[in-house]
Structure 1
């Protein structure tokens, strides 16, 4: 006997930071959602990320901020060093007061954050091994194809509400009102919305996590090296782990460096040894396990394309990397994804909370208006973050003599100020 059809108000594609934040925010608002995740379990690629005050405001709104604070050290200061000379070009105190209170930054392990968000969701919210591979149109009907052969169709139900129908591999059909694309930089939903394809920045990044079972002994400071053709940094997650990153512009001489984790680690060490990077910083990278070193090209969505691009269309929208992929130079990729989740849950939750006698057609209009409101709030924030991250990365990594001189003598304070300004943002409550 086949299971009966089930009604789902909202389907979220992707169980990353944006997807789980949106699902938890909606849950807090009393709205049920279903998260479709392409992998068989939670993914935690990238190891860790800098989590600034704006992200903790979002996490506090979701009710998991204090749990994450308990698991990670608060970073007290930033020190920026010129790689070519070893000179300290900028220091910033992270205990100072910003416009909206004290600054806060912690290096958060991605797996622990995803687990914290997942743990607050009702069982069955996430359905693994469910990947959307295409969205097609047949007249006025939208058809979403899943990797396992399941199909998601638009279907008009009673009261003139436009739903989409999902035929799962279990032969159980689902009806949904909203599709939220949190499916990453290669988002199928973003492609359907017509958003510009992410561009290659010309740079790549390697990231790793060094483990010290008996404690690393490093101060809770963010140490960054800039110039000389690369940008690198490290900061402690807790008493036993240190996260590090390294970005550079690949050349013909670098071919083969990404063939294995061992070669990539050696490539990074060789680059840093040719600069004025202290031995203790090199030791952190050398301490990393082979499996803990990853490399990937850095891509971003052209910011001007988002000025007029469709962040939402009807009852479909995008969030997280599906909306604003950016270079990591601001440390705001994960933070802004959490912001997206809170804002989206608030706008959509408020739209669904209204009940009136007009029935389904009015609800459909409110949903679409709620998604347009979300798009208005996130559009310019996304544009500014992408453009600022790209500019800061270009300046900080450059080995051009003129750019290096201006950066080290005059621009380092401006760049640090922009970094702190982007983090002093409040996405608001649910």
Structure 2
């Protein structure tokens, strides 16, 4: 059977894939998004959406849609549970280099739906799982689980942390950081009564955050490094593949840990909820009640993984007519809250460069008839190299900073805890704002591109 031919195929209909497709659409370039599930994947509860993400959402034309559905956060308030006192308060609405700061906790489902609704009908093809990638001259042939094939001029991997496209480019499996995150979401019948603040709490070896999405929805998260005691009666075994120094509460970058019974840990929301509550002897009762009221089906636990930093420096973000975006490119620790934000940036930058390879004056049939496929391939390759060049160091900066920050925020060594609680709280809060003070730019429609 002859393969269907597409100009651009995006694998994955998550935030990165939809943002990339919408960026291309705004610039008059069609794409096909392949999604393995039978509908949009809207799990994941909420995302801290910082200033840089709002710049990207505005460029995509969905910023105001989401603003009207979510409240703006006014302050970042940090409290040390070991000291029993507030240690920092920082305004989240101050002016930055790229305009006033803007921080909101956005429900993931609403962001996914807002992006998808702006795409032309038929852009997303569901139940389309890619199982193999094959070279074919200046094209890539994608083999799907249902036996069909698709031939494409450009392949963009937005297929998440276990990306097949990233593996094809030579990236290794994302590394386990040694930490887990528990996320919870609660939607109340009445107003929750919380102030419009991002509240951070730090304790012995853990970090907790709670923030309102709107007047009735509250999102919370808890990150920690499990111990045998924490996960009992779940038996957790550690295997270390390299020689390491063991520092309680700190997971060094070179240490490779495997949780033999990781899935069992992840699939016990009730036990995870109780674990969080057991940690919070000094937690204010008005905050603790939100955890208590969260239903088991609204709690998710997952390991925190990251791309080894040397891979981000040396790896192939693009190769020929293939590239990666979002978590397929830079899975990272959530300590800056920038994973999804950087994915949106990626989509804007890639869309802007890639659109330049598709000219309004030459449609696909004309290119084939005139034997200019090789010329267009070179333009595509150059566009993807520019994207890789622009995004590599921005994402390295965010990823490395997030990783190092996580060591400080969760370390329970006395010296680390002292520095975190007494010396660095305001600096750390400012760092969150500083890394979000970035503008990936608008989608420039003045280029000679058309709907092809």
TM-score under structure 1 normalisation? 0.90
Structure 1 residues 230 and 168, CA gap change in structure 2 (3 angstroms): closer
Residue 170 of structure 1: CA displacement? Answer: 7.5
Q: Indicate whether 1:38 and 2:36 are aligned.
A: yes
Asked if the contact 1:37/1:131 (under 8 Å) is kept, the reply is yes
Other-structure match for 2:314: 308
Other-structure match for 1:395: 408
Residue 85 of structure 1: CA displacement? Answer: 1.6
- Structure 1 range deviating more: 230-239 or 353-362: 353-362
Other-structure match for 1:415: 428
Q: Indicate whether 1:386 and 2:386 are aligned.
A: no
Asked if the contact 2:131/2:143 (under 8 Å) is kept, the reply is no
Asked if the contact 1:312/1:371 (under 8 Å) is kept, the reply is yes
Asked if the contact 1:48/1:107 (under 8 Å) is kept, the reply is yes
Q: How far apart, CA to CA, are the structure 1 residues paired with 2:348 and 2:52?
A: 11
Asked if the contact 2:131/2:144 (under 8 Å) is kept, the reply is no
Residue 56 of structure 1: CA displacement? Answer: 0.6
Q: How does 1:208-247 map to 2 (within 5 A)?
A: 208-247=184-223
Q: How far apart, CA to CA, are the structure 2 residues paired with 1:171 and 1:277?
A: 54
Asked if the contact 1:215/1:239 (under 8 Å) is kept, the reply is yes
Q: How far apart, CA to CA, are the structure 2 residues paired with 1:296 and 1:173?
A: 33
Q: How far apart, CA to CA, are the structure 2 residues paired with 1:195 and 1:60?
A: 32
Q: Indicate whether 1:155 and 2:163 are aligned.
A: no
Q: How far apart, CA to CA, are the structure 2 residues paired with 1:170 and 1:196?
A: 27
The unaligned stretches of length 5 or more in structure 1 are: 136-142, 144-153, 157-161
SS in 2 for 1:184: coil
SS in 1 for 2:222: strand
Q: Indicate whether 1:376 and 2:382 are aligned.
A: no
Runs ≥4 residues deviating over 6 A: 169-172
Structure 1 residues 365 and 270, CA gap change in structure 2 (3 angstroms): same
Residue 173 of structure 1: CA displacement? Answer: 5.2
Asked if the contact 2:139/2:153 (under 8 Å) is kept, the reply is yes
Other-structure match for 1:115: 113
Q: How does 1:164-313 map to 2 (within 5 A)?
A: 164-166=140-142, 174-255=150-231, 256=234, 258-273=266-281, 276-313=282-319
Residue 428 of structure 1: CA displacement? Answer: 0.7
Q: How far apart, CA to CA, are the structure 1 residues paired with 2:434 and 2:279?
A: 31
Asked if the contact 2:174/2:331 (under 8 Å) is kept, the reply is yes
1:271-319 per-position Cα deviation (integer Å, ceiling 9, x unaligned): 122xx21111111111112100010111101122211111000000001
Residue 9 of structure 1: CA displacement? Answer: 0.6
TM-score under structure 2 normalisation? 0.86
- Residue 23 (structure 1) aligned to one of 21, 25, 31: 21
SS in 2 for 1:304: helix
Structure 1 residues 247 and 171, CA gap change in structure 2 (3 angstroms): closer
Q: How far apart, CA to CA, are the structure 1 residues paired with 2:371 and 2:426?
A: 56
Other-structure match for 2:367: none
- Structure 1 range deviating more: 354-363 or 111-120: 354-363
- Structure 1 range deviating more: 349-358 or 181-190: 349-358
Asked if the contact 2:267/2:301 (under 8 Å) is kept, the reply is no
Report how many aligned residue pairs link the two structures: 404
Other-structure match for 2:251: none
Q: How far apart, CA to CA, are the structure 1 residues paired with 2:126 and 2:196?
A: 37
Asked if the contact 1:83/1:225 (under 8 Å) is kept, the reply is yes
Q: How far apart, CA to CA, are the structure 1 residues paired with 2:328 and 2:149?
A: 26
Q: How far apart, CA to CA, are the structure 1 residues paired with 2:227 and 2:130?
A: 35
Residue 6 of structure 1: CA displacement? Answer: 4.0
Other-structure match for 1:362: 375
Q: How far apart, CA to CA, are the structure 2 residues paired with 1:202 and 1:170?
A: 37
Asked if the contact 1:211/1:287 (under 8 Å) is kept, the reply is no
Residue 7 of structure 1: CA displacement? Answer: 3.0
Asked if the contact 1:304/1:383 (under 8 Å) is kept, the reply is no
Residue 169 of structure 1: CA displacement? Answer: 7.1
1:187-224 per-position Cα deviation (integer Å, ceiling 9, x unaligned): 11111111233111110000010111111111110000
Residue 361 of structure 1: CA displacement? Answer: 1.7
Q: Indicate whether 1:405 and 2:411 are aligned.
A: no
